[in-house]
C-alpha cells in the first residue's frame, strides 16, 4: 500500500517529543492516535497540544476552526491495538533498546503487513532496534528535533535492512508535512548529534583547562561566532542528563573514539542534579534572585575560543561526508535547520579556506597530541587541492 496524505498515523509515547510529532501529523491533516501506557501522561500530552494550538491560533497560524479540526484529528489511548489501521507508527519512548524491542514486537502483531514502523531515536542504532522485527525492511528512523512543531529538520535514517521503497515513501510523506528532510546513514548520532558533539565537548574542555568560564565561552560563541545560544546555555536548556547521555552513547558507539569523549564536569553536574533550567540550576543558576555571571569580554580570548570550537565542528562535518554519512549539502542543511547554526559548517570552511582550518587543527594536534584534534583526510585533501566542499 502506498502511503498517501490523510492516512492514519500512530505515535507511541506521549512525552514532549511524542506529543509534538503527533501534533505535526494532525496539522498535516492526518488522523492520529497517540498511545502511552500512562493515562496521566496522555492527559498532559493533550493539554500540551491544546496549549500549543492556542498559541499558534493567537499568532494567526490557524483559525479557531482549523485548530478545532486538528484537535478532532487526535485520539488518545493506552492500547497499542489502536494502531491496527495505521499506515505509519512512530515510536518516541525512552532510549532503551530492550524496551523498544518489546514495543515493536507487540506493534508488529497489531499493525497491517504494509504499515511502516519507525523510531524517533536520537542515538540508538536503527539496525539494532529493527532486528526484533520479522520484517525489518519496513523499519527506519525518523528523527525529529525538539520542539517538533517548530524545528524544521527531520533526519530519515534507513537501516541496512530497510527497503529503498519504504525510505522513499517516508521521505515524501515527511516532506509533505512541511518539514526539511535529510536522509543519512545509520551511524552513531546520525548527522546532527554526531557533528554537534564538539560544540559541547570542546567548550567543556576549554573550561576544564581553565582558559575561560561558562559565561565567557558562551559570550564568545554568541557575540563573536553568531550562534543563537552558547554551549553552556544550550546544555542547560537541553538538560545535562539528556546531553551527557547522548555524548556517552555516541562515544561508546564509536568504539571510544577520543573525539567524542564525555566530560567529567558535565557528569558531575548531572550527578549533583544540576540538570539545567528544568531543575533551577545547571551550569548557571536559574533560581529567583540569582544574578547571571558577567563574561570576560576580551576580544582576543573570545576569538581564540570561537576558532577552536569552530574548526573542530568543521572537522566533524568533513568526517561525516568522508565516511558517507550524508552529502555536504545534507550535512550543512542538517546543522542550520536542526540546531540553528548561523552557517553551514562546510560552507563556513569554504569561506575561511580549508587550509586555514587545517592549519589551526594541526596546531592543536601538535600541542596536545590527542586524536580528538586529528584533521580529517577529506579536509587535508581540500586544503591540498585548494578546493571547496560545497560545489
C-alpha cell at 65: 476552526
CA distance 63 to 54: 10
Q: Active-site residue among 73, 83, 91, 155?
A: 155
- In contact, 147 and 16? CB cutoff 8 Å: yes
Chain centroid to Cα 108, Å, comes to 26
Q: Is 72 a catalytic residue?
A: no
How many degrees, rounded to 5, is the angle at CA 112 between CA 108 and CA 117? 50
The pLDDT assigned to 372 comes to 95
More confident residue, 65 or 391: 65
| Mean of pLDDT over the chain | 96
90: helix, coil or strand?
strand
Whether the per-residue pLDDT at 4 is higher than 70: the answer is no
Q: Active-site residue among 30, 83, 91, 143?
A: 143
Polymer length in residues for the chain: 391
The pLDDT assigned to 120 comes to 97
Alpha carbon distance, N-terminus to C-terminus of the chain = 38
Whether the per-residue pLDDT at 138 is higher than 80: the answer is yes
Q: Active-site residue among 52, 120, 122, 123?
A: 122
CA distance 358 to 234: 27
Q: For the chain, what percent of residues have pLDDT higher than 90?
A: 96
Q: For the chain, what percent of residues have pLDDT higher than 70?
A: 99
C-alpha cell at 283: 551550569
Q: Is 83 a catalytic residue?
A: no
How many degrees, rounded to 5, is the angle at CA 47 between CA 42 and CA 49? 95
The pLDDT assigned to 6 comes to 76
Q: Is 178 a catalytic residue?
A: no
Q: Is 155 a catalytic residue?
A: yes
C-alpha cell at 292: 547571571
Whether the per-residue pLDDT at 240 is higher than 90: the answer is yes
Domain architecture of the chain: domains with CATH? 8-183 (3.40.50.720), 194-385 (1.10.1040.50)
What's the whole-number mean pLDDT along residues 250-274? 96
Per-residue confidence at 362, pLDDT binned at 50, 70, 90?
A: very high
Amino acid at each position: 500500500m502506498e502511503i498517501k496524505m490523510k492516512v492514519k498515523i500512530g505515535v507511541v509515547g506521549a512525552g514532549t517529543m511524542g506529543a509534538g510529532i503527533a501534533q505535526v501529523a494532525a496539522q498535516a491533516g492526518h488522523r492520529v492516535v497517540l498511545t502511552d501506557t500512562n493515562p496521566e501522561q496522555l492527559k498532559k500530552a493533550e493539554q500540551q497540544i491544546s496549549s500549543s494550538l492556542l498559541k499558534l491560533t493567537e499568532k494567526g497560524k490557524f483559525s479557531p476552526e482549523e485548530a478545532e479540526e486538528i484537535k478532532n484529528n487526535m485520539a488518545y489511548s493506552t492500547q497499542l491495538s489502536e494502531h491496527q489501521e495505521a499506515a505509519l507508527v512512530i515510536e518516541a519512548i525512552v532510549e532503551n533498546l530492550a524496551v523498544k524491542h518489546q514495543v515493536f514486537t507487540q506493534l508488529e502483531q497489531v499493525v497491517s503487513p504494509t504499515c511502516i514502523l519507525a523510531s524517533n531515536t536520537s542515538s540508538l542504532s536503527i539496525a539494532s532496534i529493527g532486528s526484533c522485527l520479522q520484517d525489518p525492511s519496513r523499519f527506519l528512523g525518523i528523527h525529529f528535533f525538539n520542539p517538533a512543531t517548530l524545528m524544521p529538520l527531520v533526519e530519515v535514517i534507513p537501516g541496512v535492512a530497510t527497503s529503498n521503497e519504504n525510505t522513499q515513501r517516508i521521505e515524501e510523506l515527511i516532506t509533505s508535512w512541511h518539514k526539511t528532510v535529510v536522509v543519512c546513514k545509520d551511524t552513531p548520532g546520525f548527522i546532527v548529534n554526531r557533528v554537534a558533539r564538539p560544540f559541547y565537548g570542546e567548550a567543556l574542555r576549554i573550561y576544564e583547562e581553565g582558559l575561560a568560564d561558562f559565561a565567557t565561552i558562551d559570550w564568545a560563541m554568541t557575540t563573536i561566532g553568531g550562534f543563537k545560544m552558547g554551549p553552556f546555555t544550550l546544555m542547560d536548556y537541553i538538560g545535562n542528563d539528556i546531553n551527557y547521555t547522548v555524548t556517552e552513547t555516541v562515544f561508546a558507539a564509536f568504539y571510544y573514539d577520543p573525539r567524542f569523549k564525555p566530560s567529567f564536569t558535565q557528569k558531575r553536574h548531572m550527578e549533583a542534579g544540576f540538570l539545567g533550567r528544568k531543575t533551577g540550576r545547571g551550569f548557571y543558576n536559574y533560581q529567583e534572585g540569582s544574578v547571571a555571571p558577567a563574561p570576560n569580554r576580551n576580544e582576543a580570548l573570545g576569538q581564540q575560543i570561537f576558532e577552536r570550537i569552530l574548526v573542530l565542528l568543521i572537522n566533524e562535518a568533513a568526517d561525516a561526508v568522508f565516511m558517507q554519512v550524508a552529502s555536504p549539502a545534507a550535512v550543512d542543511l542538517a546543522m542550520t535547520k536542526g540546531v540553528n547554526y548561523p552557517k553551514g559548517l562546510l560552507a563556513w570552511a569554504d569561506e575561511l579556506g580549508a587550509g586555514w582550518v587545517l592549519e589551526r587543527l594541526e596546531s592543536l594536534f601538535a600541542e596536545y597530541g590527542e586524536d580528538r584534534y586529528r584533521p580529517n583526510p577529506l579536509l587535508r585533501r581540500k586544503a591540498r587541492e585548494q578546493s571547496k566542499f560545497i560545489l
